[in-house]
Each structure stands twice: as structure tokens, then as C-alpha cells.
Amino acid sequence: MFKTDTEVQVKLNEELIKYNQNEIKSDRDDLLETIKNWYDAKNPDFKTLRKRLVEK
């Protein structure tokens, strides 16, 4: 899907920004839970990207 880690990070950032524009709440814990929920999404490509970034 992506050839470089930079492409991975750019896409992940774009998706987080889009998602969080609608989902961010005022409480820090709510924000962390929102991000975690996004990471737990059923999109296997993004799970793979997340694992790829975390393992480096």
C-alpha cells in the first residue's frame, strides 16, 4: 500500500486529523481513548501501518 515510512506517517496523520476533528473531547483521557479507538479500527491496512511505525 505504501512504499516508504514517510508515506505511512503522512497518511496516518491525515486520517487522525480528519477523525479527531469530529471526535476530540475536552478531557485528556477522552482524547486518548478516542485515538485508541481509531487505532483499533477494523481497517487492516492501518493496523499494519501502526505496527510498522511502532516496531521501528
Structurally, the chain folds into a number of domains equal to 1
pLDDT of 37 > 70? The answer is no
pLDDT of residue 56: 53
| Burial of 8 from C-beta contacts in 10 A (0-12 / 13-18 / 19+) | buried
| Whether this model's pTM surpasses 0.75 | no
Domain that holds residue 25: 5-55
Q: Mean pLDDT across the stretch 18-45?
A: 63
pLDDT of 53 > 60? The answer is yes
Q: Give the chain's end-to-end CA distance (angstroms, integer).
A: 18
DSSP labels for 1-56? --SSHHHHHHHHHHHHHHHHHHH--SSHHHHHHHHHHHHTSS-HHHHHHHHHHHH-
